[in-house]
Structure 1
Amino acid sequence: MTATLNETLTLLLIEDDAGDAFLVEELLKEAEAPPRITWVRTLGEAKAKLGPSVQCVLVDLSLPDASGLEALKEVLELASDAAVLVLTGLRDVHVGVAAVQAGAQDYLVKQDVDARLLARAIRYAMERKRADLAQRRLVEAELTAKENARLETGLLPVPLLRTHELRHTTRYLPGSQGQRLAGDFLDTVQTPDGSVHVVVGDVCGHGPDEAALGVALRIAWRTLVLAGQTGDPLLRTLDTLLRAERKSPEIFTTLCAVTITPDLSHARMRVVGHPPPVVVRDGVVGVVPGAPSGPPLGIFPDVRWTELNVPLGERWSMMLYTDGLIEAAVGEGLLGVDGLLGLVRQHGVIDVDRLIGEVGTLTDDLAAVVVSRGGT
């Protein structure tokens, strides 16, 4: 009966006996799609051949330079994505069983191999390896999802807000680039004197390291605000923390930190290399003038950031956001700050959900906080 392999594959044969190697090659020639076979005599020679292109490995565990499970362990480490079948003699069947327990997909007794059995064993080993890899990816995805959920809990805190005079809305949305976790963060805290403090920040880059750094910066910001620290001293402390915790010196962070006075009629802010907040006052839409008030954190030492003073009045609305909003794809270009202002003017109010719905695809993560007073 002719052996049937479902695909043409690249196979590495590690066998020091020329007669056994010749037999394997001849048997596989009978397959419907004979594999491309590379034959080596030792594990040392195999190391130079093992790579991503090798889909299956047949290995004799009695090699001149390695034997038993020691040889198998090295093969499994060098070809982690390849199916591995072990060749044994009649007296070494127990070694084949141990090899499967150690990670090989199957074992074959040389004296019992024929064309049909060999082809079927290779095919089944390939399928088992695919199933193993799929299971491994599933487990990794589940672990990543759990870690992301834990980090997102840190990125999305419950606001500490006592006043009922303000309407407070937050949004945190992943971008379209593989839904990777990013370092965007936000927070709102009202201190005992009645001041309302808001921050929105963005750690450059994507991934769990950046997200964890965003969580650390947000928690540090909340702690410092509750301890009574604001302004440049707070930012310099965050800058020190960023430099100590980041994985590489290229990592920087932009943010906008706002303090609204206890009577809710005035705001002081520092826009640290960040997009300018949008403010609607008595129906007039604009961005905060003078922004940004200084460079991002983590770029220059001993920086001073200019404080921007913004009169708000009785009826107003303010939105702090990360650049995922203004970098959203609109037509053939990006929304930009001017496009964002145009949409807010069309709506007459800052409706973050409507804005997100109209800009279309978010290519980057978005964190936004909207604070409103007086029914705006």
Structure 2
Amino acid sequence: MKTIFKAAIISLSTLAAVMPASAQKKYDAGANDTEIKIGQTMPFSGPASSFATIAKVEAAYFKKINDEGGINGRKINLIQYDDAYSPPKTIEQVRRLVEGDEVLLTFQVLGTASNAAVQKYLNTKKVPQLFAATGASRFTDPTDFPWTMGFNPNYQTEGRIYANYILQNLPNAKIGILYQNDDLGRDYVAGLKAGLGSKASMIVAEASYETTEPTIDSQIVRLKSAGADLLFDASTPKFAAQAIKKAADLGWKPVHIIDINASSVGAVLQPAGLENSKGVISVSYIKDPLDPTWKDDAGLKSYLAFMKRYYPEGDANSYFNTYGYSVAQLLVEVLKRCGDNLTRENVLKQAASMKGVAPELYLPGISVNTSSADYRVNKQLQMVKFNGERYELFGPIIEDSANASN
């Protein structure tokens, strides 16, 4: 009997030795051998519903991944709820995702106010708030919010990059600043001033506006009167379009820099007048499908084939869709790196240890590099200038190498 018992023990030991992979699998809520549950809120309705296409292209991309066998044999289960761009609704829906659906992580919750509303909750629960669709600096702060990682270029980072460009190319400029009086505008201005450093005296005037104001005409008149010959425009689409049009009406032709959020051709430059918008400068990090430079690019061809098959009703030329496609690819890369350790802690660890990762629509030379001390996903950008029809890339890739916590 003892001999049989010993043999059984040896057999079990041998079985354990030849099945290490199974023994090493680790899961938190939202993951198992067959699926990975991901939660998302997006404005499918309400004043920002134009952003909903981002969620749709991401869902389509994950369907493509599932059709190809999933991630390490597991299918992505993306659970999406409408928050109507309303922070109280975001709170309600994110709680539902975490406590009801028990998702492994939240992904691409959109909007600064929406993300701010759930940031403390998700950090307390230790649920990754991954690749949040906002660029406010509070979402790249691993010290105070270690479970939150924003995706969009950090507004302060972008501001410093514009300062770098101005110092190198327009060192004698007289800068007038138009900014939205909220976290978005203030972060941009802080970044610009930090980048200018001792040359911040180049700023001759500043004018803020509230989002409730019907127009910013008086602010533009004030900046022109101050003698500014460079307009730094840290605003959102509606007001950026007004600024371009009002400057043209006044016959004022400053160098006009607009932030990436307000750089849309369809939502900003067309309403302002394409002729009025000629020469507008901004930044980019993603290939433009309309740019003939990329007509033979393998990444763009792959994207266009994907859109035709999985999201034919979507506009393949839309920046929102190239954006959604890119961030979805990045999440897939993170989850692949997790292997069989699908814990929330490991998801965050992998997201915070990317080196030279480049989604296929990223501009050549631009990649994602993160660390446990630097949560900024996109800190390399290239300048673009509008030629009256489309943006043209110019100059080198500029990287923000400032302190990672800003």
Query: Given the two structures, how large is their TM-score scaled by the length of structure 2?
Result: 0.26
Query: Given the two structures, how large is their TM-score scaled by the length of structure 1?
Result: 0.27
Specify which structure has the bigger relative contact order, considering alpha-carbon pairs within 8 angstroms and separated by 6 or more residues.
2
Larger strand proportion, structure 1 or 2?
1
